Amino acid sequence: MNYLAHVVLAGPDPEAQLGNFLGDFVTGTLAGLRGRYPAAVLAGIALHRRIDAWTDAHPRHRASCARIHPRHRRLAGVIVDVGYDHVLTRRWDQHVGEAREAFIAAFYRLLEENRALLPERLSRHLPRLIGENWLGCYGDRDGLGVTFTRMSRRLRRPELLVGAEAEVARHYGALEADFEAFFPELQAQVRAWQVEARG
């Protein structure tokens, strides 16, 4: 899953949202991260990792990845994760009880209020992340193109993401069907993990 879905899946707790978002930006073992983050943020990072592992193993996610053209196949998982955020954005009201713009704005405020906890690279890019509305730009093909272009700049082979937005558009109906079968299962699994963590 990509940024937006991770924040949604974390639930309403701000520290869980922060941790689940940070999962894409912090490395190392959970034991090694203790002391750097509050326990609830650390639990969010752990949840992020469980979500990613569960998603990668799910038959529907694998089916989505198999749809991606072979020229993009090495990054099919990345393309599908962004594509799923695109579907989530377009079908927001079916999955999230809060208005999307208000939800994203509240999360941006949370990032600003907790800037001291952010890894240095993320903190440095935070004004751009908010100004370019990274979590809110998935709704149309132009926004997907901007997202994939931004991601490609971090790759040794940026050409692997050229045209990725066209792949999402070409397979949108199938990706949407995969997502709609998969995402409610993931939401239920996350709730079960959260209950288990509370003991």
Q: Identify the residue with better confidence: 159 or 37.
A: 37
What per-residue confidence (pLDDT) applies to 159?
85
pTM: 0.93
CB 19 within 8 A of CB 44: yes
Q: Is the pLDDT of residue 97 over 90?
A: no
Question: What is the pLDDT confidence band of residue 17, given thresholds at 50, 70 and 90?
Answer: very high
What per-residue confidence (pLDDT) applies to 60?
96
Q: Is the pLDDT of residue 35 over 80?
A: yes
Q: Is the pLDDT of residue 194 over 90?
A: no
Q: Is the pLDDT of residue 93 over 90?
A: yes
Q: Is the pLDDT of residue 199 over 80?
A: no
- Residue (of 165, 130, 168) closest to 147 by Cα position: 165
What per-residue confidence (pLDDT) applies to 158?
85
